[in-house]
């Protein structure tokens, strides 16, 4: 019996040694893919995680981690190989190479990597963010007219209506100490709550007030969407290892029970003429639903809800842009005053109209610079649809190879942007856009809602700055949330604010409300 036990233990140990040895050689082979193909790769990949260990273990924010990979490479390298687990990926470092791939050779790189091998509805895939060609191209032709200036003009009154509870909330907050007019607010939380109400009012067809009614099921659900661990894990899975979704199904994806109910209730009521048209996104979806359909993409069922998901993602990104721009303006009173004076002058002349925001060029520069420093969506990803010979080299990317651009990396490169950690809106003066700036994407798949995003961001910042002076104490750290692929500050963006003297128009009417 003892001999049998010894034999069993020996056999077990031998099996373990063989398996470990086999895994080691397998991993070593997989993690030398780029070297074997003659492409420079980042050193020291982890035997299991490749180069993304800290991101997968939530030690650093995933998007920021990609930026660190970018900056750790040889400065002259136009691109570098790296590994997500054992999957070989290419990180593009040179903006000219990025332009060649994602603009000139767009047809080869027209699909995102994160959409995965199958088209599944993860509230972000069955729309312009995740669809593959040719369905993506068809859908873009249908969605672009929904976001024209004329359509935004119809939605804009809903934005104004939604802002009223936010401004009341700011006005009614308690001061930090007795006898003082200084108050304190987390502008990231403030703007996210405004966004929650904007989503419901513009995209779901239902009015909500997350400032005075913060504990509704819908509000709590969307706050979890913005900040919760489940959604963060879902985003990391979808962005970095989308293949898991194919085998694991929807267990990895974030579910929106209450938002979906609001959406379907609103859509059915509008579709059956139980409620009047409001000029919102629901009206646009009803029109698309009754238009001639294509086998490439049908405006029906979950596809409709997924289209509403574009507003969730788009307004979330705009919220991030507004929050970080206000953060930098709170740190720089001179630039804040310049922005405020521009806002006051233009609002005095044009009122709270869309034309007014089109005139706010310095504020737009500030927003672009905020997006450069803190890109809301931190990576641009594509996947080669076929073997791709990189121009002017002997290198051939294999079909299916994921290609990434790190916006934190590209935007923090001293060559692209001197003194990259300095908030300098003049980088975007006179409408110039440096080739390395990709805050809204690049090529034909860049954000379709840039006009709406800028309007939304300018509106939020203007409402706050025209009424309040903001500043932040020096001890604030504003570290990024380590769980998020999108740019979010872990502990919020806390600023102090005090009311400024109301400005009057030519008829002595207060123009700030």
| CA distance linking residue 350 with residue 297, whole number of Å | 41
Binning the chain into helix, strand and coil, the percentages to the nearest 5 are 50, 10, 35
Up-side HSE of residue 497: CA atoms within 13 Å toward CB? 28
| CA distance linking residue 106 with residue 96, whole number of Å | 14
pLDDT at 243: 58
pLDDT at 117: 46
The pLDDT profile of the chain, 513 residues, written as one tens digit per residue, is 565 577 777 777 878 888 888 888 888 899 999 999 989 999 999 999 999 999 888 888 888 999 999 999 999 999 999 999 999 999 999 999 999 999 999 999 999 887 544 444 444 557 777 788 888 999 999 999 888 888 899 999 999 999 999 999 999 998 988 878 999 999 999 999 999 999 999 888 888 999 999 999 888 888 877 665 665 665 566 556 665 555 544 444 456 788 888 888 888 888 887 777 888 888 999 999 988 888 888 898 888 888 887 877 888 899 999 999 999 999 999 999 999 999 999 999 999 999 999 999 999 999 999 999 999 989 999 999 999 999 988 889 999 999 999 999 999 999 999 999 999 999 999 989 999 999 999 999 998 889 999 999 999 999 999 999 999 986 667 788 777 667 888 888 999 999 997 644 444 455 555
pLDDT at 507: 47
Is residue 473 left, alpha or beta, with left meaning phi > 0 and alpha meaning psi from -120 to 50? beta
Residue 134: asked if its preceding bond is cis (omega within 30°), the reply is: yes
Look-up of token digits 């979010």: 488
Q: What are 147's two structure tokens?
A: 């976001």
Q: Are 190 and 170 in contact (CB under 8 A)?
A: yes
User: Would you call 470 exposed, middle or buried from its count of C-beta atoms within 10 A (0-12, 13-18, 19+)?
Assistant: buried
Q: What are 27's two structure tokens?
A: 């991993």
* Backbone phi, psi, residue 498, to 5°: -140, 145
pLDDT at 256: 75
């Amino acid at each position: 019996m003892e001999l049998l036990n010894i034999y069993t233990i020996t056999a077990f140990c031998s099996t373990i040694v063989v398996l470990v040895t086999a895994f080691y050689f397998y991993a070593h082979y997989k993690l030398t893919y780029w070297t074997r193909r003659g492409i420079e790769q980042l050193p020291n990949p982890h035997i299991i995680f490749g180069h993304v260990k800290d991101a997968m273990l939530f030690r650093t924010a995933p998007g920021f981690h990609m930026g660190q990979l970018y900056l750790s490479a040889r400065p002259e390298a136009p691109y570098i190989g790296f590994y997500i687990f054992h999957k070989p990926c290419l990180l593009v470092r040179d903006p000219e190479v990025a332009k060649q791939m994602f603009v000139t050779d767009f047809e080869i790189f027209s699909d995102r990597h994160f959409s995965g091998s199958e088209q599944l509805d993860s509230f972000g895939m069955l729309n312009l963010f995740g669809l593959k060609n040719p369905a993506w191209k068809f859908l873009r032709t249908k969605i672009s007219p929904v976001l024209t200036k004329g359509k935004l003009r119809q939605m804009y009154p809903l934005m104004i209506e939604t802002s009223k509870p936010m401004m009341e909330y700011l006005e009614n907050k308690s001061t930090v100490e007795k006898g003082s007019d200084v108050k304190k607010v987390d502008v990231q939380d403030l703007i996210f709550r405004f966004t929650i109400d904007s989503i419901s009012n513009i995209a779901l067809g239902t009015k909500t007030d997350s400032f005075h009614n913060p504990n509704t099921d819908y509000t709590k659900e969307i706050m979890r969407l913005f900040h919760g661990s489940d959604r963060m894990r879902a985003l990391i899975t979808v962005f970095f290892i989308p293949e898991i979704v194919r085998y694991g199904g929807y267990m990895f994806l974030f579910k929106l029970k209450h938002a979906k109910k609001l959406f379907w209730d609103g859509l059915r009521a509008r579709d059956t003429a139980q409620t009047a048209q409001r000029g919102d996104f629901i009206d646009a979806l009803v029109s698309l639903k009754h238009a001639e359909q294509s086998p490439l993409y049908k405006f029906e069922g979950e596809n409709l809800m997924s289209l509403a998901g574009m507003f969730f993602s788009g307004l979330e990104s705009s919220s991030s842009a507004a929050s970080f721009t206000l953060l930098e303006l709170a740190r720089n009173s001179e630039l804040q005053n310049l922005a405020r004076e521009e806002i006051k002058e233009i609002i005095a002349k044009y009122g709270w109209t869309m034309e007014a925001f089109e005139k706010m060029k310095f504020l737009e520069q500030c927003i672009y610079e905020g997006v450069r420093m803190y890109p809301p969506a931190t990576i641009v990803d594509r996947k080669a649809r076929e073997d791709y010979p990189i121009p002017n080299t002997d290198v051939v990317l294999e079909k299916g190879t994921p290609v990434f651009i790190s916006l934190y990396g590209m935007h923090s490169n001293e060559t692209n942007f001197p003194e990259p950690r300095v908030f300098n809106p003049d980088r975007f003066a006179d409408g110039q856009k440096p080739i390395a700036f990709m805050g809204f994407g690049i090529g034909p798949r860049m954000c379709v809602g840039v006009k709406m995003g800028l309007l939304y961001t300018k509106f939020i910042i203007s409402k706050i700055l025209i009424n309040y002076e903001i500043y932040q104490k020096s001890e604030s750290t504003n570290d990024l949330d380590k769980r998020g692929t999108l740019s979010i500050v872990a502990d919020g963006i806390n600023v102090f604010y005090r009311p400024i003297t109301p400005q009057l128009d030519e008829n002595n009417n207060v123009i700030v409300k």
